[in-house]
Amino acid sequence: MRYSNFTFSLCLFFSVFCVGQDSLKTVVAEPGDGILSLLRKQGVDPYDVFDEFVKLNNDSLRDSVHLIAGKTYVMPHVKLDTVAIVDSLQQQSTEIKELESVSYDIFGEKHKNVIKKSDRLEGNVYYLVSGHGGPDPGAMGVYAGKNIAEDEYAYDITLRLAKELMAHGAKVYIIIQDPDDGIRDDFILEIDHDEEAYLDKRIPLNQVARLKQRVEIVNDLYKSNKGKYQRLIVTHVDSRSVGQNIDVFFYHHEHSKNGKKLAESIHKTFQAKYKKYQPNRTYSGTFEDRTSLFLVKKTHPAMTFIEIGNIRNAKDQVRIVDPDNRQALAKWIGEGVLLDFEGE
């Protein structure tokens, strides 16, 4: 099944049920536990309940996705799929809440279900472009003795961000798509070259042709969604000297007031997260205009261009290769998008 002709919105849902928080089991995180391993140890398929676990324990997670050893966490109830079980729980006078969810194959089998969180972005349109892809893997690095490529990690973060935005009701266009790679929870993401551009377009080898193709796709979609609230987010991973450790930083068009506001909102979110979760570390990421970048200069929607880190630097690699960190990045960008739309 191909995904290129998909546009995504939470317009359909199926219902699943879980027991209210006051009656759910709690567990204490041990040193070395991550969300996935903790859920597995409790006999739960972590991919079925990951988003619900994060939602239930949001205030007790470091960096929004990391467990804190010694802290108590609420376990989601297993999904119920029979009326008899639901009736039994209702008879026990437990609180039942309904979660809206819809499935999208592009996220992969383990992550395909998007649980609705709100309607805060309902009617908004977001275009997400991950850097490079197809014949061009982008920046390259070496981690644990294996080659790693920019396009694979930028794509994984982009998919995670798409889920975040869709969970709040947004319509999301994923401009670069891979028919085989959904969201992956591996440190080493295998390199392939089968990515395509929106609507089954082959990605050109020539850099200028590749950038022009993305600009044309985004601008055509922008015209078709005229009158709607529209934003573009481009995600890249930088390549600098091995010894240069950098923070996440953001670019915008020098004459775009809305683009500057989007970049600034996400930047503020990252500042706040670092202050909360890493108080002894100064966040040095910036937001600034850089109209010389082709996608910044030529695309019509207000936009921000994000550089995640230096793929060749050992410290930055931890931010990039750890799937929990990629999830945190996507979540923080998503919170910045909400701040941009709703204001302070």
Domain ranges of the chain: 14-96, 118-342
- The residue among 189, 191, 184 whose CA lies nearest residue 107 is 184
Query: Which pLDDT tens digit goes with each residue over 165-197?
Result: 999 999 999 999 998 999 999 999 999 999 999
Higher pLDDT, 331 or 64: 331
Which pLDDT value is given to residue 282?
A: 83
Residue 245 burial by Cβ neighbours in a 10 Å radius (0-12, 13-18, 19+): middle
Higher pLDDT, 46 or 206: 206
Query: Which pLDDT tens digit goes with each residue over 34-69?
Result: 888 888 888 887 777 887 888 888 888 876 678 899
- pLDDT-derived band of residue 17, with 50, 70 and 90 as boundaries? very low
DSSP class of residue 310?
A: E
Q: Is the pTM of this model over 0.85?
A: no
Which pLDDT value is given to residue 6?
A: 47
Helices assigned H by DSSP within 107-242: 150-167, 207-224
Across the chain, mean pLDDT equals 86
Mean pLDDT to the nearest integer, 221-227? 97
Which pLDDT value is given to residue 89?
A: 35
Q: Is the pLDDT of residue 266 over 80?
A: yes
Mean pLDDT to the nearest integer, 78-97? 40
118-342, which class in CATH? alpha beta
Distances (CA, A) of 107 to 32, 111, 114, 183, 234: 27, 5, 9, 5, 18
CB–CB of 308/329 below 8 Å?
yes
CA–CA dist 165, 176 (Å, integer): 17
Higher pLDDT, 277 or 4: 277
Which pLDDT value is given to residue 63?
A: 66
CA–CA dist 69, 33 (Å, integer): 7
Tokens of 121: 């972005």
Which pLDDT value is given to residue 230?
A: 98
Which pLDDT value is given to residue 90?
A: 42
Q: Is the pLDDT of residue 21 over 80?
A: no
Which pLDDT value is given to residue 23?
A: 53
Which pLDDT value is given to residue 275?
A: 86
Q: Is the pLDDT of residue 3 over 50?
A: no
Mean pLDDT to the nearest integer, 300-312? 96
CB–CB of 306/266 below 8 Å?
yes
Highest mean pLDDT pick, 31-35, 48-52, 264-268: 264-268
Distances (CA, A) of 48 to 39, 94, 117, 343: 10, 22, 16, 33
